[in-house]
């Protein structure tokens, strides 16, 4: 061997003839089953291959590969292993120049077949499979370092290599890689265990994948999992995709996520457990990809998941409607539970993905999800609910709000306007999301996630009388100008939502706890002196509603409202630290503890609490009194004039212009509740000041005439029916809430002309044509004051009307 090696190195041009001769001898010996001579020939070829690196080695390599192919084609396991070992040695040699004509199609096919060996002897079977895996690893190493390496990534090769590796990886009995990347195998395991060796080869293959061939390497994984039904249970599928996500380059992660989404679409009609298995795999992939680059697939992920959430709810609704008695009913119940597994998996994936996004992307996803929540009376949501029915629509509302709750968890905005823009807040506080206690709970929890910017919510958990709020160590900052502006614009909307939420008949303890937390968070995060006064007015209004009970609430709910008011006033009195206010609240709570414990949260929300028969006969010392509160706050510099005005929830524009409102669940209750409220339009008045211009001051007549909208309406049209009046009132409300300011100004100009004629009748004066615009008109609505509107100056003899 030494002489032959020396001769070959000295005369490399002879390598071709040496290789041809050895190949001819080896072929003859293989056919004649002369294993000893075969071993000698392969040993000679291996040593020559390792010793010679000249340009003349190319023809010799062809003879060498031909001999290896002969060994792999033989039926003897020892020869197959021998040929594999020789090929692996050859694969580790780095050639100086690429070979443009050499192909490895035969070796890919043969090594893949060896990976599926079914030899009767377990030891020989394992040995052949290990040889096949090592051969594939050799092919991969050889081709990826070659100039023609793209050939190995062709689908016809990947469809053989990847399933062969996965087939051997399935033999891993237990995989636990939840806390991080799957553990790398040790050197000893690589040589002895086909599963570990296959996993290592799979990692190496994926690690060498590039942008153009990533999909070719991933798609055979789906085919293998489908063929072997490995989505349910999906432990192996999860393990495979963890390996994929940790092995590929981070910037290619979104390709894998796109492939999973595409496969989910392709299998959308499969059983719920299969879809749930795919979604759980997506969750694991997203969990890894979210830590790095996730590419342009953010909205695609959410859009696809929301589409499948709707499909799942639709399947569930169809099963419930189509269920019958007997065994079919049991199957329907089982499918229903399976669909819930799918829905929970989707929500968990949405929440996890959303919570790992940067804030700017998370706010977009919040708007994206909110835009798909079905809100009756509008067409702004983009999710098709035509096939769901009422039950399915309620179900999809709950699912989407749960998704939104997970996305908003941990979101910290610098200003509340960023977290709760009008386009998000309006549908969130829609009456359509108040028809069920669970929906109301989810809405409040979403608001808490967005309002609680200093992590105070955990300290406020559970409704109770807090002896000393200072012990909670509440974190708060000075209210910024943007937050103050937000409360001026949207405060009434929040108050109204809390007010109506307290008066729902299906409230449970959790609803009252969340309402209390809402009031407390507004106090901490958004309350200046004006907001504190408004919140106290709201609390007193809730107390009055519980006492008067216009809504015919059960006694438990009335006592629950009283307990909520007590807990909140106890909290706010200590937060603003006005001693007289704290003393009044503490005194009322002390009297309640002795005489009416059912008015306190610690008692009313306890099992088997004794309830009173009525509230009308109770002593006024059990209630929080407006005059006492006003007196205590007035002494500390608060502007308490508004405390004397009872809080009345303003009727906001509940649906966009041109849309019909959704028929309420309790029509009579909602109509009665609205009829008892004072409309915004009732408070809108147009004040016309008649100022002295050219006459002495002692001749001045009464200088102000107040004409309300009701008076004008009666003067213009008294023939309308009650239904027409309600419709007109609704249209005017919408106009003032949603119309552009310029449109309102134009409308007021026309109103000014009507006033012109009306005042002429009242004052019996001759009016000249109006000249150029001048003067202002002020419109007030409740506590809000809109900016001045220019109107025409209308001249009378000796009088000037503005």
pLDDT tens, residue by residue, 114-150 = 999 988 898 999 999 999 999 999 888 887 765 555 5
Res 644: pLDDT: 87
* Alpha helix ranges (H) inside 616-721: 626-634, 667-676, 680-683, 709-716
pLDDT band at 721 (very low <50, low <70, confident <90, very high): low
Q: Tell me the pLDDT tens digit for each residue of 500-557.
A: 999 999 999 999 999 999 999 999 999 899 999 999 999 999 999 999 988 899 999 9
Does residue 458 have a pLDDT over 60? yes
Res 136: pLDDT: 93
89-94-95-100 Cα dihedral, nearest 10 degrees: 90
In the predicted model, what is the mean pLDDT of residues 13-34? 79
Does residue 24 have a pLDDT over 50? yes
pLDDT band at 176 (very low <50, low <70, confident <90, very high): very low
Does residue 690 have a pLDDT over 50? no
Mean pLDDT across the chain: 78
216-245 burial, b at 16+ Cβ within 10 Å, e below that, comes to: bbbbbbbebbeeeebbbebebbbbbbbbbb
157: tokens are 């090769």
In the predicted model, what is the mean pLDDT of residues 674-683? 35
What is the spatial distance between Cα 441 and Cα 444, in angstroms, rounded to a whole number?
5
Does residue 270 have a pLDDT over 70? yes
Q: Which of 178-182, 376-380, 680-684 has the highest mean pLDDT?
A: 376-380
Q: What is the enclosing helix (H) or strand (E) of 328? A: helix 327-355
DSSP for 500-538, written as a single string: HHHT-TT--HHHHHHHHHHHHHHHHHH--HHHHHHHHHH
Res 482: pLDDT: 92
pLDDT band at 361 (very low <50, low <70, confident <90, very high): confident
Q: Which of 60-74, 383-397, 720-734 has the highest mean pLDDT?
A: 60-74
DSSP single-letter state for residue 623: S
In the predicted model, what is the mean pLDDT of residues 146-165? 81
In the predicted model, what is the mean pLDDT of residues 397-404? 92
Q: Is residue 708 helix, strand or coil?
A: strand
In the predicted model, what is the mean pLDDT of residues 81-103? 77
Check if the beta carbon of residue 8 is closer than 8 Å to that of residue 51.
yes
- Residue of 524, 626, 608 lying closest to 565 (CA atoms): 626
Res 800: pLDDT: 40
Does residue 799 have a pLDDT over 60? no
What is the spatial distance between Cα 348 and Cα 663, in angstroms, rounded to a whole number?
33
Contacts of 205 (CB under 8 A, 6+ apart): 140, 161, 162, 165, 217
What is the spatial distance between Cα 206 and Cα 249, in angstroms, rounded to a whole number?
9
Contacts of 562 (CB under 8 A, 6+ apart): 543, 546, 599, 604, 615
Does residue 739 have a pLDDT over 80? no
Contacts of 230 (CB under 8 A, 6+ apart): 170, 224, 236, 237
What is the spatial distance between Cα 15 and Cα 344, in angstroms, rounded to a whole number?
67
Res 536: pLDDT: 95
Q: Tell me the pLDDT tens digit for each residue of 467-509.
A: 999 999 999 888 899 999 999 999 999 999 999 999 999 999 9
Res 600: pLDDT: 94
- Residue of 92, 210, 202, 97 lying closest to 146 (CA atoms): 97
What is the spatial distance between Cα 587 and Cα 599, in angstroms, rounded to a whole number?
14
CB atoms within 10 A of CB 509: 15
In the predicted model, what is the mean pLDDT of residues 374-403? 75
DSSP for 386-422, written as a single string: TTTHHHHHHHHHHHHHHHHHHHHTT---SSHHHHS-H
pLDDT band at 782 (very low <50, low <70, confident <90, very high): very low
Q: Which of 25-34, 58-67, 386-395, 576-585 has the highest mean pLDDT?
A: 576-585
Res 725: pLDDT: 76
pLDDT band at 104 (very low <50, low <70, confident <90, very high): confident
More confident residue, 570 or 79: 570
Does residue 611 have a pLDDT over 80? yes
What is the spatial distance between Cα 193 and Cα 129, in angstroms, rounded to a whole number?
10
pLDDT band at 209 (very low <50, low <70, confident <90, very high): confident
Check if the beta carbon of residue 515 is closer than 8 Å to that of residue 560.
no
Residue positions counted in the chain: 802
**Dihedral sign computed on CA atoms, order 610, 615, 618, 624:** positive
Query: Backbone phi, then psi, for 789, in 5-degree steps?
Result: -115, 125
**Distance between terminal CA atoms of the chain?**
119
Check if the beta carbon of residue 271 is closer than 8 Å to that of residue 228.
no
Res 724: pLDDT: 74
Lowest-confidence segment of 35-39, 419-423, 780-784 by average pLDDT: 780-784
Question: Tokens 């309406």 map to which residue?
Answer: 713
Res 232: pLDDT: 87
In the predicted model, what is the mean pLDDT of residues 729-750? 73
623-627-633-634 Cα dihedral, nearest 10 degrees: 180
In the predicted model, what is the mean pLDDT of residues 274-296? 80
More confident residue, 233 or 330: 233
Res 303: pLDDT: 87
320-344 burial, b at 16+ Cβ within 10 Å, e below that, comes to: beebeeeeeeeebeebbebbbbbbe
Res 151: pLDDT: 74
Does residue 186 have a pLDDT over 60? no
**Dihedral sign computed on CA atoms, order 215, 218, 221, 226:** negative
CA distances from 510 to 135, 344, 467, 539, 728 (A): 63, 22, 22, 18, 39
CB atoms within 10 A of CB 95: 15
């Amino acid at each position: 061997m030494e002489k032959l090696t020396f001769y070959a190195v000295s005369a490399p041009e002879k390598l071709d003839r040496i290789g041809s001769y050895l190949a001819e001898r080896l072929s003859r010996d293989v056919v004649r089953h002369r294993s000893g001579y075969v071993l000698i020939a392969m040993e000679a070829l291996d040593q020559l291959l390792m010793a010679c690196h000249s340009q003349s080695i190319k023809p010799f390599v062809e003879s060498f590969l031909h001999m290896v192919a002969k060994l792999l084609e033989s039926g003897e396991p020892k020869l197959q292993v021998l040929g594999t070992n020789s090929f692996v040695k050859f694969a580790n040699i780095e050639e100086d120049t690429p070979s443009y004509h050499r192909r490895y199609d035969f070796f890919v096919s043969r090594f893949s077949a060896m990976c599926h060996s079914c030899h009767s002897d377990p030891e020989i079977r394992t040995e052949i499979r290990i040889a096949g895996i090592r051969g594939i690893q050799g092919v991969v190493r050889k081709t990826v370092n070659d100039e023609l390496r793209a050939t190995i990534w062709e689908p016809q090769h990947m469809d053989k290599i990847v399933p062969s590796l996965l087939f051997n990886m399935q033999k891993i009995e237990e995989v636990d890689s939840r806390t991080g990347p799957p553990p790398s195998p040790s050197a000893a395991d690589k040589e002895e265990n086909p599963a570990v060796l296959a996993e290592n080869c799979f990692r190496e293959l994926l690690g060498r994948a590039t942008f153009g061939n990533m999909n070719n390497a991933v798609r055979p994984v789906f085919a293998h999992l489908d063929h072997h039904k490995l989505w349910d249970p999906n432990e192996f599928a999860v393990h495979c995709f963890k390996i994929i996500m940790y092995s590929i380059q981070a910037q290619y992660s979104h390709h894998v996520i796109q492939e999973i989404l595409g496969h989910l679409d392709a299998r959308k009609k499969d059983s719920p457990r299969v879809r749930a298995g795919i979604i759980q795999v997506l969750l694991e992939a997203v969990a890894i990809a979210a830590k790095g680059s996730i590419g342009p697939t953010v909205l695609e992920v959410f859009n696809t998941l929301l589409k499948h959430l709707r499909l799942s709810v639709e399947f569930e609704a169809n099963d419930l409607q189509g269920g019958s008695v007997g065994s079919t009913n049991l199957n329907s119940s089982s499918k229903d539970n399976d669909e819930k597994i799918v829905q929970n998996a989707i929500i968990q994936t949405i929440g996890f993905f959303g919570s790992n996004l940067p804030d700017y992307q998370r706010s977009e996803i919040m708007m994206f999800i909110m835009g798909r929540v079905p809100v009756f009376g509008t067409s702004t949501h983009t999710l098709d609910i035509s096939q769901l029915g009422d039950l399915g629509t309620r179900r999809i509302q709950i699912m989407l709000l749960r998704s939104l709750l997970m996305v908003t968890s941990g979101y910290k905005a610098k200003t509340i306007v960023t977290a709760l823009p009008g386009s998000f807040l309006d549908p969130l506080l829609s009456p359509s999301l108040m028809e069920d206690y669970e929906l109301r709970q989810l809405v409040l929890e979403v608001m808490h996630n967005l309002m609680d910017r200093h992590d105070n919510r955990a300290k406020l958990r559970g409704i109770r009388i807090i002896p000393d709020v200072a012990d909670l160590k509440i974190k708060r900052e000075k209210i910024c100008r943007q937050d103050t502006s937000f409360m001026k614009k949207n405060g009434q909307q929040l108050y109204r939502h809390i007010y109506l939420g307290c008066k729902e008949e299906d409230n449970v303890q959790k609803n009252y706890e969340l309402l209390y937390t809402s009031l407390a968070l507004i106090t901490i995060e958004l309350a200046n002196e004006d907001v504190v006064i408004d919140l106290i007015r709201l609390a007193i209004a809730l107390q009055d509603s519980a006492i008067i009970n216009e809504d015919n609430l059960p006694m438990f709910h009335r006592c629950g409202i009283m307990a909520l008011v007590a807990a909140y006033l106890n909290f706010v009195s200590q937060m603003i630290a006005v001693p007289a206010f704290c003393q009044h609240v503490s005194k009322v709570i002390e009297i309640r503890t002795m005489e009416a414990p059912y008015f306190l949260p610690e008692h009313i929300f306890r099992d088997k609490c004794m309830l009173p028969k009525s509230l009308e006969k109770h002593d006024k010392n059990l209630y929080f009194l407006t005059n006492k509160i006003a007196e205590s706050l007035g002494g500390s510099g608060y502007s308490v004039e508004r405390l004397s005005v009872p809080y009345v929830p303003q009727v906001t524009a509940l649906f966009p212009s041109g849309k019909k409102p959704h028929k309420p669940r309790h029509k009579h209750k909602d109509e009665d509740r609205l009829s008892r409220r004072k409309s915004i339009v009732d408070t809108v008045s147009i004040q016309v000041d008649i100022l002295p211009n050219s006459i002495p001051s002692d001749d001045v007549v009464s200088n102000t005439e107040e004409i309300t909208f009701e008076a004008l309406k009666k003067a213009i049209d008294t023939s309308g029916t009650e239904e027409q009046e309600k419709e007109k009132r609704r249209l005017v409300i919408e106009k003032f809430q949603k119309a552009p300011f310029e449109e309102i100004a134009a409308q007021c100009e026309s109103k000014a002309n009507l006033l012109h004629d009306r005042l002429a009748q009242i004052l019996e004066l001759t009016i000249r044509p109006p000249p150029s615009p001048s003067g202002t008109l002020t419109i007030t609505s409740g506590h809000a004051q809109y900016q001045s509107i220019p109107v025409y100056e209308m001249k009378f003899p000796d009088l000037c009307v503005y």
